[in-house]
Amino acid sequence: MEIQTKKFAVLIDADNSSISAIPSVLEEVAKYGIASVKRVYGDWSSDTLKNWREVLLPHAITPVQQFAYTKGKDATDMILIIDAMDLLYAGALDGFCIVSSDSDFTPLASRIRENGLSVYGFGKKKTPEAFKKACDKFIYIENLISDSDRLCCTKIS
């Protein structure tokens, strides 16, 4: 009998995620299945995201560029949602892992679940309740990050 491993898309909102948590998040995802898609979304021309390269390369995470066309509007969220819907309807995945502390992803998590796929959310304890409840499981990144991760990555977070 062949054991099937579940395939997940790990979609990371760089604007609302902790860089130091990413290795621990990927380790946690591996407990549930294979991260067959790993993408992080942001405006890579911004100085605030320059240190993400240290995490992207060793973990084979694909950066997705989205310029901030207008102040106050989050184009990064929109491209993550569009990619997620494309991946959902491609039908090759068993679930999604959304890494963000942003409640804007609540409808996305709900839609994915309506289509019968699992949604695991990863974010800070401050994450709004609506997003946490829209996920099958929500994991606090503060519980995943070891003290050594915090120390080594404090300067780049």
Dump the DSSP string for 73-98: --HHHHHHHHHHHHHHHHT--SEEEE
Of the candidates 96, 95, 122, the one whose C-alpha atom is nearest the C-alpha of residue 23 is: 122
Which of 5-9, 87-91, 141-145, 149-153 is predicted with the least confidence, judged by mean pLDDT?
Answer: 149-153
> What 8-state DSSP symbol labels residue 116?
T
DSSP letter assigned to residue 111: H
Please give the share of the chain, as a percent, with pLDDT higher than 90. 78
Match 């310029």 to its residue by tokens.
Answer: 67
- Ordered domains of the chain (ranges, CATH): 7-156 (3.40.50.1010)
Tokens of 142: 């503060």
Residue 149 pLDDT greater than 70, yes or no: no
Mean pLDDT of the chain: 90
Q: Give yes or no for residue 48 having a pLDDT over 60.
A: yes
Instruction: Look at residue 72 and tell me whether its pLDDT is greater than 80.
Output: no
User: pTM for the complete prediction?
Assistant: 0.89
Q: Sign of dihedral through CA atoms 29, 157, 83, 123?
A: positive
